[in-house]
Structure 1
Amino acid sequence: MENHTYAVVDLETTGHSPSKGDRIIQIAIVFVKNGAIVKRYATFVNPYRDIPVFIQHLTSISETEVISAPAFEDIAQQVSDMLQGTVFVAHNTDFDLSFLQSEFKRCQVQKWIGKKIDTVELSKILFPSSSSYRLQDIAEELGIALPTAHRADDDAEATAHLLLVALSKLKTLPQETLNLLHRRSFSLRSDISSLIYDALKFVRKKETQNDCGLFRGIPYKPAKMPEISATSRYNYPSIDDDKKELLKKGYSQFEERQAQFSFMDSVWATLHDQSEIIAEVPTGIGKTIGYLLPAAIRSFETGKPVVISTFTNHLVDRIMEDEVERIRKILDVDCSATVMKGKEQYISLGKFEELLQISDESYDETFTIMQILVWLTETTSGDVGELNVSGGGQLFIDRIRKRTNHMAEDELIADYHKKMMDACQHSNLIITNHSMLLTDSFREQKVFHSISGVVIDEAHQFSQTASRLNETVLSYMNWKYVMGQLGSDAEGQLLHKTMKIYNKFSSEGTYMFKRLMESYELFSLAFDEVAGRLASLHNPENKGHLGNRIIFSLDEVNGDEKLFRKMIDLMNVYIGNLDYISKQLESHQQAMSSNELAFMKEWSYWSRELKIKAGEWIEVFLEKQQDRFTVWIEKDKRSLPGSLSIIKSPINISGVVQQFISVLKQENVGIVWTSGTLAINEDERFVARQLGISEDVPLRVFDSPEHFYDKAGIFIVDDMPAIQQVSQFEYIEAVADAVIQTVIATGGRLFVLFTSQDMLRKTYELIIESELLDDYALIAQGVSSGSRMKLLKSFRQFDKSVLFGTNSFWEGVDVPGEALTAVIIVRLPFTSPDEMVFKARAAMLSEMGANPFTELALPEAILRFRQGFGRLIRSSEDRGFFIILDKRIETKSYGKRFLKALPKVPIKKLSLERMVNELEDCYNE
C-alpha cells in the first residue's frame, strides 16, 4: 500500500446509534500520500435533531454552529466520491466506518469498499508500553499537537500524524521482528499486514543498523550494565547552606525547609553509623529527596549500593523516573540506579520462544505476541509491567513470566532478570519493593548483599506486605483454570495434542488416555463436591452491611476433613498419571519436532502448577496452626461457586519482620524506616510495635513547613444522621445528598472515601439515578473498570470529576494542585469487625487481657484517617477541604483523638447547608 492514498476520517455525532436516529454533526478527512498530508476536508453537519448537552460539552460543538451547515444527505455523495480508491483510516474504525456506512445506506449512496487501518490497533502494536490509547493520550505521549480533542478536524489531523509516526516506526524495526509480525498480522481486524509488508520490503532493501541481540531468532534489546560511582568529590553537606546550594540545582523554585535538612541529617547519621531509626516525615517536607541524597553520597563513600524499598511497583517506578534523575542533576554525577522486582515481573525469553512454536493462537494471544515482539526491541528492563495489554492478553503475559532460575545457557546470557540482579551490585541505588526486600532474607542467593544501607519508605505498609507474602489463597476460578489446561480433551487443546504425541511414541496411548481421564474425572468430581459444600454453606452471622459478600471461618465448617483428604488423595493419583506420561515422553525428546517439544514444555509447566495447587490444598485444609494463622471462606451469593475463595493468613507478622531485620543487621548496615504516617498521639510506637522493631530504636517525628496548610480547612457536617440510629438506606440517602450538594458547590474534583464497597456502590447508584450530576465524570472503584492508577488518571483528565474510592484510595495517591478540591470522609475508617484477620488479632489481644478497640481498632483507624487527609494537600499552594460526614467524630469520646492526629487546620462544625454556602463563597471568589 506504499503508493496508496490514506483517507484519515473522524466523525463527531449526536450518539452511537444511527439506527436510533443519531446523526453526524461534524466530519473531517485528512488525506495522506507518500509520507505527507496532501489535502484536508472538514465541515459541520446539521443533524436536524437536538445535540445532547453531554455531546456539546464533550465536543464544544453547539447547536448554533450546525444550524446553517448542510445535512449529511447534501454531502454524502461528495464524501463517498472522495473516499473511493483510498485506504480508510480512523482511530477506532469500528465506530467511524460503521457509522459512515450506515449514513451512506440511509442516504442511498453506495457503501465504501476497500482496505481499512485502525490506528488504535496499530498504536497498540507499535507503542505497546503506552499507558492509554485514547487519541488525546497517545498524541500527547508522541508529541502530536491536538488543540481540541473531540473536534473532528483536530482529531483527524492528529490521527493522520499518528499514522505517519507509526509508518516511520515500522521502518526502524529489525527485519526479523517484521518477519515475525507479518506472519501473524493476517489475524488482525484491520489491514495492518499490508503496512508491515511495505516496511519489510523497505528494510530488506536498506541495510539498517540496530542495537538488538538475537535470542533463538527473536530480536531483543540487551540490558546495559551500569557502573557504580565511587567518588571522593562529595562529602555529606553537613552545613545547611551547602544543602541549600545543592538542592537549588534540582528545583527551579526551591523552598528551604528546615525539617527536610534535619531529616537528611538523621538519614546520613543512621547510614554512616550503621544504626537504625524510625522517622515520620509528613507531606511537604520533601521526604524522597531527603533520603535519596544522603543515600547516594553514602554509596559514593563506600562503593556499595544503598537499597531503597517502597510499597508498590508503581511507587518504585516513580522514584526511578522522577527523583533519581533529580539526584543526578543535583550532584552532577551519573548516580547509577537499578530497579529490582521479583523474577515473575520479568519476561522469560525461553518460555516466550516456546509459545511462539505453538500454531494455535486466539486473537488476543496473537495480538499480545505482536506487542511483545515490538516491546523487546525497546525495553532494557524486560519488566512485563511496562506492557499495556488486554484482559485476554494478560493471561498470555502470565504464561511468559519468569518462574525459575534454572535456564539454558543461551537464556542465561539474554535473561533480563539475571541482568538486573547483576546490575544491582554495580549500582549506587537499588530501588525495590517491600515484597522483594522481605523475600530476599529467605533466598539462598541473596540480591541485597554487600550493601551500605537500607531505606524503607512507606514503612507503615511493611506489615501488610509481610502478611500478604505469608498468605495462601485458594480461588475456585483459578483452580478451574489450571485444571482446564490439562483436563480438557477437546480437539486443539493441550491434552488432545499431548496424547497425539504420546500415541506416536507409545503403544499404550489408548490405555493411558483412559486411565488419565478416569483419574481426572474422580479428582474433578471430588473438587466440585468440596466447592459445592462450601458454596452452599450459610453463615447466620453474616451482617447486612456486607451486602452480597459472605465471609465465615473455616472452623465453622465441621466434619468435612475426610472430604478434604479424599480430594487430595484423588488429586495425587491424577498427578501420578500426569508424571508417568511426562517421564515416558522425556525419553523421546530427541525425536520430537520443535512444535512437539513446545507442547511438552507446556504440559510440564501446567503439571508443575497443579502440584503447587496440591501443596496449597494441604496447607489450607489439613495443616492445623490456629495459633499462628486464621483461615476463612469468602464468596458472593450472586456468583457461586465462581466467587469462592479460601484464604489462610498469619495473625501476627512481627516475628517475620524481626527475622528480616536480624538478617539485615548481619550486613552491618544502617536501616531507616520512614513514612508520612508512623506515629499517632497517645501511642507513638503503634506501627513500630506491629513491625516488631525494638523499643531501643529511636522514633523522630518531623513537622510540616510553617503555613503549609494555610489553604486547608476541615468541616464537620453536624446535621448528618447518626449511623447507628438510622437504616443503612437512610444514611446512604443523606450521604448522596451531601455529595451532590458539595460537588455542585465546588465544581467537582472531589474524592469521596468509603470503608465499605457495598455502601460505595449503593451511594454511587443513587447519585446516578438522581441525574443531578449528569454533567460530571463519576468514577467509582469496583464499579468503573480499570486499576486504581487507571481510575486516578481518568479522574485527573476531567475538569468536572468525582472519584468514589475505598481502602486503597485512602493513601498512596497524589493529586496535586487544583485537580483535587475536597475529600469527603463518609465514615471513620475503622476496620470491619467481620474482617477475619482483624477478628483473630482482636481475639488474641483479648486473651492477653488487652482492649482490642484501644490497642488495635482505634490506632489503625486514626492512621488511615491521617492518610486520607494526606491526599488533600500535597504542596503549600494547594487549597482544599476535608469534609467529615460521620457524627461519631464529635459524639464519641474517641473523636477528639482523630482530630488531634491531624495538622493544625481550622475546624468548623456546621450544617450541610452552611457548609455548601461557604464552599460556594470560596470557589466563587
Structure 2
Amino acid sequence: MAVMEAAEKLSTDIIDRMREAIADADGHEVMAWGKMQGGIIAELTIAARGDEESVPAVFQHMEKGDVVIHNHPGGVLKPSGADMQVAGRLGEHGIGFFIVDNDVERVYAVVEPVSVKEKRALKVEELASLLEPGGALETAMDGGGYYEYRPSQVAMLERVAESFNESRICVAEAGTGVGKSMAYLLPALNWASMNDERVVVSTATINLQHQLIDKDIPLAKKILGTVDSSFADCRTALVKGRGNYVCLRRLASAVEEQTLFDEDNDELEPIKKWSETTSIGTRDDISFFPSNTVWSKVNSEGDSCLGLRCKHREKCFVLKSKKEAASAQLLIVNHHLLFSDLAMRLEGAGFDNSVVLPPFTRIVFDEAHNMESSATSFFSSEMNLFSVLKQVNRLYARRRARTFGAVINLQLEAGAFEEDEKIPGLVDGIKEQMQVLDTAAVEVMRSDMNIRLRGDTVEIFKDSIFPAMHELQKRILDCVHAVENIVKRLDEKDLELPVVFEVRMLERRLEAFASICQSFTLWEEKPGDVFWMERSRSSSGDYFARFVITPLDISRMMRESVFSPYETVVCTSATISVNRDFRFWSTRVGLNGFEDREVTASMFKSPFPYKEKVLLALPEDAPEPNNGDYQSFVEDFSLRMLELSEGRGLVLFTSYRMLTETFDALKPGLDKLGITVLKQGDDDRTRLLEKFKTDTASVLFATSSFWEGIDAPGNSLKVVIICKLPFMVPTDPVIAARMEVVEQRGGNQFMEYMLPEAVIKLKQGFGRLMRRGTDSGVVAILDSRMLKKFYGRLFVNSLPETARSFKPVEGILRDSENYLFLS
C-alpha cells in the first residue's frame, strides 16, 4: 500500500494526540494503539515509548480490529525488517500496524486491521418470553414432558443475557429446580449463532455434560428456532479430554507387546476389535469397562501424539473430535479440560489460537462451586513410583529376553550409536533410585498418611528424602543427556521420524520429574506452592508414595486466565453462597476485590415447595461425633429410619472407614427386610446409580463424590441420612497450608475457611433429596453440632426453609413416618 495522508486513517483529534506524544518523547519512538470507527482511528492509547520490543506489552491489551501506530523519527516510512516481523505477528490476530512520520502528516498502513462485525445484542425480553406461560417452552412440552412456569428461571435468563450484551462477569446461585441450564443455554446459543462467536460451557461432571448434549441443548435449539430458524442450527459439540479416546498407534504397540509376552490379552483383544468398528473411540463406548492399567497403555496422550507424523492420523478419533470442535459454535467441556487449555494460553499460546480447544470468547461455568478444586488439581504437579516407571519403560524395557521401547525403535529405524549401549544401565539406575526414594518416603510415613514439607518437618526430608531426590534428579538428567546425544547424531533426514518425536516427548516427561525433585529441594524459594508427600495403596494393596506440588492460591491464575481476557464469564451453581453471602467463594476464585471488570452476583430462589415437601430432622439426643457411642447411635438410627422408609435411602459419610463399618453392621438386618444394600466402590459409579434408581427398595451407602451429582427423582429416594457435618480434614496438606495463610493475616481459619467449605458441601448433600417439584421426603443430619454449637445456625440458615423436627430420636421417627406416609 502506498503512503497516504494521515487524515485518511486518523481523525484530527488523534493526529493532535499523536503529535503531542511524540513531542513529549523528544521526537523518539512512540508506540500507541487505537480503535477503528468508520474506517479511521477514533480512539487512541499511548502505550509505550521505545522500539518494536515494546509491542508485546501493548499487544496483550488489544483485540481483533485494533491498530498499532508507531512513528519513524527519521521520516522514512518504509518498514524495517523488525517492523515486518511485528506486523506479521499482529496480522495473525487481525490487528493492524501503521507507521507515521513525526509530524503525523503521512501514514503507511503495513497491515490493515481485520474488519470486525458489530456485535448484535440479545433481545432480552424476547428470550425471556420463550420461558413464560404460552411461550415456546410450554408449546414444546405439549408433545411430552412437564411445563412449569418458573419466575426465578426467567430472572436468571435475563441476568445472563444482559451479561452477554454488556460483556460482564455474572455470578448466579440458582437453587435446585430453577432450571439454570436453560437459563444460560438460551442466551449462549442465541449469542453464538447470531454473532458467530464461540461460547464454552464447562461443567464438573460427565453426567451434566451428557444431560446438556442429549436433552437440554436439543430443547433449547427447538425453542430458539421459533424466533429464527437459523438459531436452531447453532453447531454444538461435546469435547472430552484426550485420555477418554483410544490411540490407535499406542493400541497397536500394546497389542504387539502382549502378543510377544502374553499379558493383558483378556482386555486388549476386545479393545482392538472394538476400535475397528467404533465411530467415536471413547472409553465409555466400549461394552465393558477397561481396567485403568490397560486403558493407560492405549489411551491418547497429548505430549506423545505424533500429529501429522502418525500413520493412523486419517482414522484418529482425537483429530476427528478436534475437527468437530473447530466447526462448532458452542462447546461442552469439563473444568479440567478447560483449565488445560487456559494454562497453555496463559503460558504464551495466546487467546486467538487453537490450543486444546479452538479459540472462544465467552465462558459459562456450571457447577462453579468446583472451580477452585478443579483448578488446584490441574495446576498441581505429581511424581510417584509408577509414573516414573511408566515413562522409563516406554523409553527402554526388557521382558523375557526381549527388548523394546522408543530407543530400540530408534535403533531399528536410524541405526545404532555408541550411546545406545548406555541406556539400559541408565534406565535401570533410574528405576533403582526411584525405588529407593519410594521406600524411604513410605518408611517415614509409617504413622502418617501424609507429610507436608515445612519448617518443623524439613529435617525428615533432609535425612532421607532430599538425598534420594537429588540422586534421582541426577540419574534422570544423565539419561536424558544420553538420549539427546543419540538424537543429535541422527542424520537430518531421520529427524522427522515419528520415533524421534516420541523420544523427545519422553525426554520432556523425564525432565519434568527431575524438575519436581529440584523444586522439592528448593522449596523455601517457592512460598506460593505447597510441597507434600502422601502414602497411597496400589491396586495390589502395597503402599507407595506420591510427591505433589500444589499451588497455594489459584485466585491470580483465575484472574489472568479467565476473568480478565474473556468478554463474558458466567459462574453458576446451586451452592456457592454461605448464609446468602458470596464472599467466601468469590475470594477463593479471585473475584473478591477484582475491580477490572463489572461483576454482578445474584441469587435465584428454588421454586420447589421445600416447606411442604421436605422434613429436616436433627436428633437432639445424638451424641457428639467424637463420643464413643456415636457409631452405635448412627447404626441404630439409620437401621430404624431405613426400615421405616422401606429402603429408598441414601446414607452419606465423610470417611470411607465409617461407611464400611456402618455398612457391615446394617447389611444383615436390611437384607432380612428385603432391602437391597449398595455400597460405593462395589461397582462402577454409573452402574451403581442405575441400580439404586431402578430398585426402589434399595439403600446406597456413599461418601466423597456422591454428595453431589446424584439425580434420583421420584420414589427411589425418600430419605437422605447425613452422618457428620462435612468438615474438611485439617491434616490435608493443602487445606492446612491455606488455613495457615488465613491465620497469618489475622483471620480465623475455622470461621473463614473450614466452616464455609463445610456449609457448601452440606448444601450439596441436602440437595440430593428433592430433584423435582413433586419429590418429598426426610433429610436427617445426625451431627449434634448443628444444634449445640454456635455455628450450627449458619448451617441451618444456609439450607432452604423446610418443615423441621428437632427432637429426640423417637419423636423424629414418629414425625418422619407421618411425613412419609400420611402427608
Aligned partner of 1:89 in structure 2 is none
Instruction: Classify the secondary structure of the residue corresponding to 2:327.
Output: coil
2:174 maps to a residue whose letter is V
How has the CA–CA distance of structure 1 residues 233 and 474 changed in structure 2, closer, same or farther, with 3 Å as cutoff? Answer: closer
Instruction: Classify the secondary structure of the residue corresponding to 2:371.
Output: helix
Say whether 1:453 aligns with 2:346.
no
Quote the Cα distance in structure 1 between the aligned partners of 2:406 and 2:192: 55
1:522 aligned to 408, 429, 440, which one?
A: 429
1:572 aligned to 477, 486, 489, which one?
A: 477
Q: 1:26-37 residue pairs with structure 2 within 5 A?
A: none
Aligned partner of 1:313 in structure 2 is 206
How has the CA–CA distance of structure 1 residues 462 and 235 changed in structure 2, closer, same or farther, with 3 Å as cutoff? Answer: same
Quote the Cα distance in structure 2 between the aligned partners of 1:550 and 1:602: 35
Say whether 1:840 aligns with 2:737.
yes
Quote the Cα distance in structure 1 between the aligned partners of 2:316 and 2:793: 56
Say whether 1:470 aligns with 2:379.
yes
Deviation at 1:421, TM superposition (A): 3.4
Aligned partner of 2:196 in structure 1 is 303
Task: Using the TM superposition, name which of 261-270 and 470-479 deviates more.
Answer: 470-479
Deviation at 1:581, TM superposition (A): 5.8
2:171 aligned to 278, 288, 307, which one?
A: 278
How has the CA–CA distance of structure 1 residues 234 and 670 changed in structure 2, closer, same or farther, with 3 Å as cutoff? Answer: closer
Deviation at 1:472, TM superposition (A): 1.4
1:723 aligned to 619, 622, 625, which one?
A: 625
Deviation at 1:351, TM superposition (A): 3.9
How has the CA–CA distance of structure 1 residues 368 and 449 changed in structure 2, closer, same or farther, with 3 Å as cutoff? Answer: closer
Quote the Cα distance in structure 2 between the aligned partners of 1:808 and 1:355: 32
Q: Are 1:474 and 1:645, in contact at CA under 8 Å, matched by a contact in 2?
A: yes
User: Deviations 1:610-657 (Å, cap 9, x if unpaired)?
Assistant: 444333333445454552111222215998863322222111110110
1:421 maps to a residue whose letter is K
Q: 1:841-860 residue pairs with structure 2 within 5 A?
A: 841-860=738-757
Deviation at 1:533, TM superposition (A): 1.6
How has the CA–CA distance of structure 1 residues 335 and 505 changed in structure 2, closer, same or farther, with 3 Å as cutoff? Answer: closer
Aligned partner of 2:61 in structure 1 is none
2:602 aligned to 700, 705, 715, which one?
A: 700
Quote the Cα distance in structure 1 between the aligned partners of 2:188 and 2:799: 30
Say whether 1:294 aligns with 2:164.
no
2:651 maps to a residue whose letter is V
Instruction: Classify the secondary structure of the residue corresponding to 1:802.
Output: strand
Aligned partner of 2:529 in structure 1 is 629
Quote the Cα distance in structure 2 between the aligned partners of 1:350 and 1:486: 16
1:834 maps to a residue whose letter is T
Deviation at 1:663, TM superposition (A): 4.9
How has the CA–CA distance of structure 1 residues 231 and 566 changed in structure 2, closer, same or farther, with 3 Å as cutoff? Answer: closer
Task: Using the TM superposition, name which of 560-569 and 605-614 deviates more.
Answer: 605-614
Deviation at 1:530, TM superposition (A): 1.8
Quote the Cα distance in structure 2 between the aligned partners of 1:329 and 1:785: 37
Aligned partner of 1:112 in structure 2 is none
Say whether 1:267 aligns with 2:151.
no
How has the CA–CA distance of structure 1 residues 793 and 553 changed in structure 2, closer, same or farther, with 3 Å as cutoff? Answer: farther
Quote the Cα distance in structure 2 between the aligned partners of 1:915 and 1:600: 69
Quote the Cα distance in structure 2 between the aligned partners of 1:236 and 1:314: 30
User: Deviations 1:55-77 (Å, cap 9, x if unpaired)?
Assistant: xxxxxxxxxxxxxxxxxxxxxxx
Task: Using the TM superposition, name which of 864-873 and 339-348 deviates more.
Answer: 339-348
User: Deviations 1:143-198 (Å, cap 9, x if unpaired)?
Assistant: xxxxxxxxxxxxxxxxxxxxxxxxxxxxxxxxxxxxxxxxxxxxxxxxxxxxxxxx
How has the CA–CA distance of structure 1 residues 902 and 607 changed in structure 2, closer, same or farther, with 3 Å as cutoff? Answer: same
Say whether 1:426 aligns with 2:331.
no
Quote the Cα distance in structure 2 between the aligned partners of 1:503 and 1:254: 66
How has the CA–CA distance of structure 1 residues 888 and 776 changed in structure 2, closer, same or farther, with 3 Å as cutoff? Answer: same
Q: Are 1:735 and 1:885, in contact at CA under 8 Å, matched by a contact in 2?
A: yes
Say whether 1:805 aligns with 2:702.
yes
How has the CA–CA distance of structure 1 residues 628 and 790 changed in structure 2, closer, same or farther, with 3 Å as cutoff? Answer: farther
Deviation at 1:505, TM superposition (A): 8.5
Deviation at 1:313, TM superposition (A): 3.4
Aligned partner of 1:160 in structure 2 is none
How has the CA–CA distance of structure 1 residues 432 and 502 changed in structure 2, closer, same or farther, with 3 Å as cutoff? Answer: closer
2:661 maps to a residue whose letter is K
How has the CA–CA distance of structure 1 residues 924 and 264 changed in structure 2, closer, same or farther, with 3 Å as cutoff? Answer: closer
Aligned partner of 2:86 in structure 1 is none
2:131 maps to a residue whose letter is K
Say whether 1:761 aligns with 2:664.
no
How has the CA–CA distance of structure 1 residues 375 and 414 changed in structure 2, closer, same or farther, with 3 Å as cutoff? Answer: closer
Aligned partner of 1:664 in structure 2 is 565
Quote the Cα distance in structure 1 between the aligned partners of 2:219 and 2:718: 29
Q: Are 1:780 and 1:804, in contact at CA under 8 Å, matched by a contact in 2?
A: yes
Aligned partner of 1:650 in structure 2 is 551
User: Deviations 1:203-224 (Å, cap 9, x if unpaired)?
Assistant: xxxxxxxxxxxxxxxxxxxxxx
User: Deviations 1:260-283 (Å, cap 9, x if unpaired)?
Assistant: 111111111111222221111111
Instruction: Classify the secondary structure of the residue corresponding to 1:698.
Output: strand
Say whether 1:238 aligns with 2:238.
no
Aligned partner of 1:796 in structure 2 is 693
User: Deviations 1:238-276 (Å, cap 9, x if unpaired)?
Assistant: 375543311114433211111111111111111122222
Q: Are 1:345 and 1:402, in contact at CA under 8 Å, matched by a contact in 2?
A: no
Instruction: Classify the secondary structure of the residue corresponding to 1:632.
Output: strand
Deviation at 1:347, TM superposition (A): 3.7
Quote the Cα distance in structure 1 between the aligned partners of 2:577 and 2:487: 56
> What are structure 2's unaligned runs of at least 5 residues?
1-117, 226-231
Q: Are 1:494 and 1:599, in contact at CA under 8 Å, matched by a contact in 2?
A: no
1:647 maps to a residue whose letter is V
Q: Are 2:234 and 2:329, in contact at CA under 8 Å, matched by a contact in 1?
A: yes
How has the CA–CA distance of structure 1 residues 298 and 603 changed in structure 2, closer, same or farther, with 3 Å as cutoff? Answer: closer
Deviation at 1:572, TM superposition (A): 2.3
Deviation at 1:567, TM superposition (A): 1.9
Q: Are 2:173 and 2:604, in contact at CA under 8 Å, matched by a contact in 1?
A: yes
Aligned partner of 2:791 in structure 1 is 894
Quote the Cα distance in structure 2 between the aligned partners of 1:481 and 1:452: 38
Q: Could you state the TM-score of these two structures normalised by the residue count of structure 1?
A: 0.66
Aligned partner of 2:809 in structure 1 is 912
Quote the Cα distance in structure 2 between the aligned partners of 1:755 and 1:274: 40
Aligned partner of 1:559 in structure 2 is 462
Quote the Cα distance in structure 1 between the aligned partners of 2:660 and 2:234: 47
Amino-acid identity (%): 23
Quote the Cα distance in structure 1 between the aligned partners of 2:434 and 2:679: 36
> What are structure 1's unaligned runs of at least 5 residues?
1-229, 543-548, 591-596
Quote the Cα distance in structure 1 between the aligned partners of 2:720 and 2:677: 15
Task: Using the TM superposition, name which of 767-776 and 231-240 deviates more.
Answer: 231-240
Quote the Cα distance in structure 1 between the aligned partners of 2:168 and 2:578: 24
1:672 maps to a residue whose letter is V
Quote the Cα distance in structure 2 between the aligned partners of 1:763 and 1:721: 16
Quote the Cα distance in structure 1 between the aligned partners of 2:224 and 2:205: 27
Quote the Cα distance in structure 2 between the aligned partners of 1:517 and 1:353: 24
Aligned partner of 2:149 in structure 1 is 256
User: Deviations 1:310-361 (Å, cap 9, x if unpaired)?
Assistant: 1133422221112112123323423321122334443434444555665436
Deviation at 1:434, TM superposition (A): 1.7
2:758 aligned to 861, 865, 870, which one?
A: 861
Instruction: Classify the secondary structure of the residue corresponding to 1:238.
Output: helix
Instruction: Classify the secondary structure of the residue corresponding to 1:489.
Output: strand
Deviation at 1:761, TM superposition (A): 2.1
Q: Are 2:176 and 2:608, in contact at CA under 8 Å, matched by a contact in 1?
A: no
How has the CA–CA distance of structure 1 residues 915 and 746 changed in structure 2, closer, same or farther, with 3 Å as cutoff? Answer: same
